[in-house]
Amino acid sequence: MIRLPKLLLALFAAALLPAAPAQAERVRDLGSFQGVRTNQLVGYGVVVGLEGTGDDNLEYAAQAMKGVTNRLGLQLPPGIQPGLKNAAAVMITADLPAFAKPGQRIDITISALGKAKSLRGGSLVLSPLMGADGQIYAMAQGNLVVGGLGVSARDGSKLSVNVPTVGRIPLGATVERAVATGFDTRDVLRFNLNEADFLTAQRIRDAINQKFGPIATLEDAVTVSLALPTGANTRGAMMAAIEMLDITPAEAPARVIVNSRSGTVVISSAVRLAPAAVSHGKLVIHIDEAPQVVQPAPFSRGETAVQENSTISVEQSNNHLAVLNPGPSLSAIVDSLNKLGVSPPDLVAILEALKQAGSLKAELIVI
C-alpha cells in the first residue's frame, strides 16, 4: 500500500505559511468590462502540399477541393474524383480580440478533420472564418507550423511525437470586419468579476465612488454597474483609471482539493479543523498462486494435469485512535493529517468523514 508522503503536505505548508494577509490587487485583474472580450471564430478549409499523408478519397474532402478549384476557375469534369493523398480537410479556429480592426492579423489553429495522418509541410488555402452570427470576420491562409511528428513502417509499427494532425499559423488570418462593443454608447457600463463575491464587488464599488463620485452601484455578486459619460475619449480614460484602482479582495473560500490518484493535497489557508478523534488501520490480503504440473506414472496411460496451489495470507495492522487537535492555522492541520500516515484513498475517506461530522470547516473537492 502506497502511503501519502508527509513531505508533500509539509511542502504545501511551507509554501503557504505563515498565512499572509490579503494583498491589494488591481481591478483589471479581478474582472472585465461587459462587451470588451474576445470572440471565437471557426472555418472550414483545405490544406495542400502534404507528403502523401492526406485524406486520400474521402467524399467531403473531395467536395472541398472541388469548391477550391471552382473558385479559381478550374472546372473538374463530372464523375472525376480527385486524389487527395497530398491534401486534407481541416477545421480552423481563432480568437478575435476586442477592438480588432480590419487589416490586423491574428493567430489561427488548424486541425485535421478526416483521415489525414500528418499536416507537416502543408499550406492552408484561402478560407473564411465566421463568428457565431454566421458573418465572415477574417480570412485565413499560410504555411502550417506543426510541432508533432508521425512515422510508420511497412510492418505496421508506428511512432508519434505530440500531435502531427494539429498545427498553427502565427498571424495567419487577416481581420476583415470589426466587432462593435458599444462600450462608448451604452447608458450603463457593467464590470463583471471573474468569481462571484459580494464583498469584493462591494469594495470595487466603494473604491470607484470614492475616486469619481457616486457613479457605481452593486447589481449582484458579480456585476458592478457604472454610469459613465458617453464618448470613447472620456469613457475610455475613466475605464483605464478604474482598472488601475487597487483594492483588497475578499479572502478565498476554504477548500481542500485531493487528487486520489497521485496523492496530491492542496489546502487553502482559510481551512479550519474542529477537534476530532479518528481510528485508522489497514488490512492487506495476499493471494499467491503457484500451480504445479503433475506427470502420470510411466506406462500408466494417465494424462498430464495441473494441480492448483494457492496460499492466502492476511496482514492486519493494529488500529489506533488519533486525536486531531483544532487547527487555527494551516500548519496545525498538516501536522494532524501527518499523524495518521494514510494512503491517498484512505485520506479521501477520512476527509469525507470529517466533513460529514462537521469537523472539517471547508469545501472538499476530490478529483
What is the spatial distance between Cα 7 and Cα 5, in angstroms, rounded to a whole number?
5
Cell numbers placing 144: 502550417
Q: Hey, where are the domains in the chain?
A: 6-19+254-366, 39-175, 182-247
Reduced to 3 states (helix: H, G, I; strand: E, B; else coil), residue 345 is helix
Q: How far is CA 52 from the centre of its chain?
A: 34
How much of the chain exceeds pLDDT 90, in percent?
26
pLDDT for 325: 57
Cell numbers placing 44: 472550414
H helices present in the chain, as ranges: 6-16, 59-71, 198-212, 232-243, 330-340, 344-357
Say yes or no to pLDDT of 4 above 60: no
| Residue 34: how many other CB atoms lie within 10 Å | 18
Mean pLDDT over 124-136 rounds to 92
- E strand or H helix at 364, and its extent? strand 363-366
298 versus 8: which is more confidently predicted? Answer: 298
Say yes or no to pLDDT of 9 above 60: no
How far apart, in Å, are the Cα atoms of 11 and each of 6, 338, 345? 9, 12, 20
Angle at 178 between CA 176 and CA 179, to 5 degrees: 140
pLDDT for 218: 93
**28 secondary structure, DSSP code:** G
The pTM score is 0.63
How far apart, in Å, are the Cα atoms of 341 and each of 314, 334, 337, 352? 21, 11, 7, 16
- Name which of 120, 128, 125 is nearest 168 in CA terms: 120
262 versus 169: which is more confidently predicted? Answer: 169
pLDDT for 129: 95
Q: Long-range contacts: 69-73, Cβ < 8 Å, 24+?
A: none
Q: Is 124 exposed, middle or buried (CB count within 10 Å of its CB: 0-12, 13-18, 19+)?
A: buried
**156 secondary structure, DSSP code:** S
For the stretch 211-245, pLDDT in tens is 998 999 999 999 999 998 888 888 889 999 999 99
What interhelical angle do 330-340 and 6-16 show, nearest 10?
180
Cell numbers placing 214: 457616486
Cell numbers placing 294: 503433475
How far apart, in Å, are the Cα atoms of 89 and each of 147, 171, 328? 19, 21, 60
Q: Which of 95-104, 258-267, 306-315 is most confident?
A: 95-104
Mean pLDDT over 99-105 rounds to 93
| Residue 264: how many other CB atoms lie within 10 Å | 15
How far is the first Cα of the chain from the last one, in angstroms, to the nearest whole number?
20
- Name which of 114, 148, 143 is nearest 44 in CA terms: 114
How far apart, in Å, are the Cα atoms of 247 and each of 6, 95, 210, 227? 37, 30, 12, 20
Q: How far is CA 264 from the centre of its chain?
A: 18
